[in-house]
Structure 1
């Protein structure tokens, strides 16, 4: 149903699984910081309890857009608002959805606790029909957050009072869209799409909630409005699988993102019981020696590090257009994809990546989580599974990387290798269609791709380090006492990070290596480092750090407010030069 344009972030938050009946709950909510976590004892969960401030959801209270702008640590926060349902919504089940809430959440509707969730990045929902009443209903949200506990993945949220180095302003509480959805009691609970261009078809598996007797699943694909394939099968249990043959073949490829529309329906006795809209891209992924092949073609991955921060929204883009624009800025600079770094990005970003033909790697925000014992696995894996399942159907997503730089703890204790091994194996089991990197940079335990991080600022030394790989020999391994190479495809997944602030506005800024003395020196260094990777016939990609500045970190190619620091035509020419390992288009 249409959403008010005055609501912040009014677009549908889950574009690959869309039903018509939904209500966006973004906008003004009551809000209160609970420094002593005493709110439950004080009865803040009761409908009549008022909170002391106002906040604009979905922006976190640390952000300017929220109207709060409180950047100190917040042990817990409370939210409250009322809503009323349209006529007819009492006939089905109402789900209350949260895009993301950081970190441990409990939700009440009319003083009835409807559910709890742990995890600051994955999406979740609760059925709430049993708690609803006629007229106004009150939803109350409580979230606890402690990035210094070692018990939660915080990503690049600073564990110190000030932002410093490559850690930035924190995010607490709600930071993605909150919404209601009317669903039938018998409904499609979830579905997976596996494109199969070699056999001109789409494989679909779905899970059904409710009464399945006499039920069928009908799946219809179309391309630019033309019918492109349909299949109907009877449902014998909660899960059902089918293959839809496609009458037209249009491949999804980076830079040429052909997309099919998809409609899924549950049908009983000729009547539609439930229906949802989606889309898919027809593409395959395959590792072949040192090459990464997309639809059989070796594609050199010109990636850039994107950390998903915004000056006014922190973790939350101010608009849907801002998400799209970040991808367009990257493409304008000659990149064809990004590592989505230390953060599970929202589905709307992946939607625009699908639409614009932009490659992305999915990653979790593991920094801050102690993984020196199996206790870290209990905190990490459930949320990671939720993220993998949520984002599985996006054609732009070409690989998973659950961990990044798993450094030893401040006590000097090493990572528990079994934590990484189990997460790697679980990810492979959840998604056998994509490669998995266990931990980007270090310390590898079990991985489909061996990647390294290298911030050497000397182009000659940088090139020489990878010359043995170019000649078919053993590649350079960082921390060889902790990890070893065993023949996997290889790439440098972080390099550069050249510290350049053209306005010299932050003498206390942060970047890697010695700051260049001029833009010309930056350009010479950038070109030398990048060419060393493009020229290497056994390097399938690179990832430059980073797309834009973030707060004190000034090694972006754009400023924090997304102004280019360099001539984009030059940058695009350097990044877009034909790579040694790349096939002809």
Structure 2
């Protein structure tokens, strides 16, 4: 059997010595969460089902396809490693497991992780024995608890409205990596296009004494700069001057290659990794958002990251790229990655294709009416921001989306304020939207969600802004506009799919009576935003249908509903705010 999702899962930090653990695992549902008491983590205990990792058990591709709630699940498989790996350290990586995870190697617990969307790893070197190894994974998941972000996973048995099939347990690649005793654990790359530099911050695991960090950059195979700096400590900072400047821009994902080495005078090259970066800046200027100093209208589309057969997991790397190419073919230049932290391979293709994206957490379902919500949210969000910091395609962060009241209680504004402040402290290079749509507390950008289906009343709502009049605030009793750049980050959602017109289908407003009526409405709404001199962008809902929500421009199985060229012509024309 071929390995599903065989591609290298972490394109920002690539090593040659790795092993993909995707494929068939033993599996068992633990409704009573009693597996530990029943010794399921014993390496000799066999589980009674088989599942295809990395697909979640709710999905068709997993081979399980259990759509009911699962309180906990277990996974088990054996593996072997090359003898040479035992000379260094062995790391076990998980792209994502939903939600609370514990992992055993040969019956010994190697660690726990909380969070269904961020990546994590464990050093399993001390648990490795001769011959075959056994890894056991346990995951608890409760989307109805109010204690975990669930995103668009339905808290009801059935999918409904804009909530869809759930994801439990492993849903991204599981893999092993061989590293030396002293190795590069991470690198942060900050582009400085105005001065022709990149600023590097490398973290070193192990004893860094006697090591030198070497960095080499190139563009299209031509050397563009190199440096050497003494390590000495676990954190190394350096700035590398670039001999040639090639800007990363929307539609032009110009990327430099980066080689990093840890070198010891007596041992030679200890560790070597490959990476890449894009040279670009994001700046706020009045009502404009500038990329590399140019006002770029952000023609965004809502992408929810769902797949008919894999649910949260794309069936292939090609499917990830295809979603971006579909969007570009419709005249969009980016997306809000909505209510889900997307996997690094999607961001890799966004980097390559020059695609603008906003990183967002899956906050729906989490109770943030008290400080307790902060403890559940912030650690995982920081893991995501740190992991994805280097991707040039990410041009802003949006930790929360539509922070509606929870059981009649209002959000704790300090939760949003603290998350905003910490995000800005960790990444001062990008704008941060505290909560998309509502209810803003402190934010670099003010956005609203507006699903008015009438272009005339839609236009009238934003007309006073042009002459310095009232700015539309969707919840004026809960939020106040403070002069920030402004855009409508959800609009449209036009309900259209004649082949799925049953009572279970869902969308916004009244359905158009014909394809021509859809196009007329789409163009009318979009023109309002393109023609507005104080709008820096828009975000249309949505790229493709998801289950019963049928307001996509493509169907759920990625077939166009309309001639793409018609939509492209509407979206792609010059906007009033652009230079």
| Equivalent position of 1:388 in the other structure | 385
Structure 1 match to 2:148:
152
- 1:424 CA drift (Å): 0.2
What displacement does 1:268 show? 1.2
Name the counterpart of 2:306.
Answer: 309
Which residue in 1 is equivalent to 2:463? 467
1:46-445 mapped onto 2 (5 Å cutoff): 46-269=42-265, 271-410=268-407, 412-445=408-441
Deviations 1:279-304 (A, max 9, x none): 00010110000111000000000000
Take 2:327 and 2:146, find their aligned partners in 1: how far apart are those partners?
A: 34
Among 557, 560, 567, the alignment partner of 1:561 is: 557
Quote the offset at 1:6 in angstroms. 1.3
Mapped partners of 2:116, 2:469: distance in 1: 43
Looking at structure 2, the residues matched to 16 and 561 of structure 1 have their Cα atoms a distance apart, in angstroms, of 29
TM-score, normalised to structure 1's length? Answer: 0.98
Residues in 1 aligned to 2:149 and 2:293: alpha-carbon distance in whole angstroms? 36
Unaligned runs of 5+ in 1: none
CA distance in 1, matches of 2:134, 2:102: 14
**Contact persistence 1:222–1:262 (CA under 8 A):** yes
**3-state DSSP class of the match of 1:550?**
coil
For 1:507-522, list aligned pairs within 5 A: 507-522=503-518
Deviation, structure 1 residue 533: 0.1
- Give me the whole-angstrom Cα distance separating, in 2, the residues matched to 1:186 and 1:162: 50
Partner residue in 1 for 2:544:
548
Give the Cα separation in 2 of the matches to 1:354 and 1:212.
32
**Secondary structure at the residue paired with 1:503?**
helix
Distance 1:404 1:477 in 2: 16
Q: Which runs of 5+ in 2 are unaligned?
A: none
CA distance in 2, matches of 1:474, 1:233: 55
Distance 1:473 1:220 in 2: 53
Q: 1:201: Cα distance to partner?
A: 1.1
Which string of whole-angstrom CA distances, capped at 9 and with x for unpartnered residues, describes residues 120-168 of structure 1?
0000000001111111000000000000000000000000000000000
On the 8 A contact 1:502/1:565 being kept in 2, the answer is no
Note the C-alpha offset of 1:86: 1.0
2: CA distance between counterparts of 1:154 and 1:185?
38
Bigger shift: residues 490-499 or 237-246: 237-246
Structure-1 separation of matches of 2:275 and 2:308:
32
**Distance in 2 of aligned mates of 1:432 and 1:284:** 11
2:422 counterpart SS class: helix
CA deviation string 1:360-400 (max 9, x = no partner): 00000000000000000000000000000000000000000
| Among candidates 458, 472, 495, match of residue 476 of structure 1 | 472
Counterparts of 2:435 and 2:461, CA distance in 1: 21
Q: Which residue of 1 aligns with 2:492?
A: 496
| Larger deviation, residues 211-220 vs 366-375 | 211-220
Report the 3-state secondary structure (helix = DSSP H, G, I; strand = E; otherwise coil) of the residue aligned with 2:525.
helix
Aligned length: 578
Q: Does 1:530 align with 2:523?
A: no
Deviation at 1:208, TM superposition (A): 1.0
- Alignment match, 2:21: 25
Distance 1:470 1:41 in 2: 66
Shift of 1:216: 1.0
Distance 1:504 1:155 in 2: 24
Q: Tell me how far 1:505 sits from its aligned partner.
A: 4.5
Alpha-carbon distance in structure 1 between the residues aligned to 2:328 and 2:273 = 32
Residues 228-286 of structure 1: per-residue CA shift (max 9 Å, x gap):
10011112321111111111110000111110000011111171111110000010110
- CA deviation string 1:404-456 (max 9, x = no partner): 0000012x100000000000000000100000000000000000000000000
8 Å Cα contact 1:499/1:513 also seen in 2: yes
C-alpha distance in structure 2 between counterparts of 1:520 and 1:165, whole Å: 25
Deviation at residue 508 of structure 1 after TM alignment: 2.7
Relative to the length of structure 2, the TM-score reads 0.99
Q: Distance in 2 between matches of 1:226 and 1:520?
A: 51
Distance 2:116 2:82 in 1: 31
Distance in 1 separating the partners of 2:297 and 2:349: 21
Contact 1:502 1:519 in 2 (8 A): no
Corresponding residue to 2:566 among 548, 563, 570: 570
1:323 CA drift (Å): 0.2
- The alpha carbon displacement at 1:472 in A equals 3.2
